[in-house]
Amino acid sequence: MMGGMSVEALAEMFAAGGVAVLSGAGISTESGIPDYRGESGSRRRSSPMTHQEFERDPGARHRYWARSHVGWRRFAQARPNVAHRALAHLEKAGLIDGVITQNVDGLHQAAGSARVIDLHGRLDRVVCLQCGEQSSRWDLDARIESANRDWQPTAIQHQADGDAELTPDALAAFRMVHCATCGGALKPDVVYFGDSVPSARVHEASGLVDSARALVVLGSSLQVFSGRRFVARAVQQGTPVAIVNQGPTRCDADADIRIDAPLGGVFGDLMRWLSFEPSPV
């Protein structure tokens, strides 16, 4: 733990109620989903997909959907961990006002959290770039499976955003399907690098931070402005900020409480301090 900060100080912040939570990829690593940067803070993958590349380059879309089809099954099998379940419990107890998440995995909702703002969208939804129709990722998964019955690639490495590195031969053999309504290109309903978070989501998340008694950041290095803006907003308003993350963040100097430790252990201790039974693993 950094700076002598303790779980007790964090527990006192939660106990006072009115907490807004901002979560990043680090909260889902204990559910088996890789994070983007690791403890060093350096990005694991040097060239993330951008919105412009996905929209303009059919080859990029083909590569994405091939890799994503392999990675999706593993991604979709992830289940909420101790930290997700603890947050849902604290919300039900009236101590948390809501969660803003940078993740696209839906694990907060699966754990039972009611007010969740999916800042970057959800990977279990798909949208057509031509007609705008939204559909289920599971429906698309079944259609892709049907079109690739003899395709059996092996993942080289799984990534944080639900895709997987594949060999060139596996990529070339993959057959993509298109929108069942208009035949247009399909895109996961997520915010890519180079794209903007929809203004309605930013407005809702800003309102949550504005009305909060405290902001708690969990599992985010705060390298990306879409999340860091809320810390800046809280600091500007004099709202106390706590950050729990393994490794450095860009806002460590702004934190009133800073804990460098695995989230599962922190929340196990925190729930005991608050006299709640820790969530079962």
Mean pLDDT of successive 10-residue stretches along the chain, which has 281 residues: 67 97 96 66 58 91 91 88 97 97 96 98 95 95 95 69 77 94 95 89 98 98 94 98 96 96 94 73 41
pTM of the model: 0.88
Write the pLDDT tens digit of every residue in 206-220: 999 999 999 999 999
CATH numbers and ranges of domains, the chain: 1-33+80-120+196-281 (3.40.50.1220), 49-77+124-190 (3.30.1600)
Establish whether 158 is a catalytic residue.
no
User: Which DSSP string corresponds to the chain?
Assistant: --TT--HHHHHHHHHT--EEEEE-GGGSGGGT---SS-TT---SSSS--BHHHHHH-HHHHHHHHHHHHHHHHHHHT----HHHHHHHHHHHTT-EEEEEE--SS-HHHHHT-SSEEETTEEEEEEEETTT--EEEHHHHHHHHHHHTTT-----SEE-TTS-EE--HHHHHH------TTT-PPEEEEEPPBTS---HHHHHHHHHHHHH-SEEEEES----SHHHHHHHHHHHHTT--EEEE-SS--TTGGG-SEEE-S-HHHHHHHHHHHTTPPPPP-
pLDDT of amino acid 5 = 59
pLDDT of amino acid 158 = 58
Catalytic residue among 89, 120, 158, 178: 120
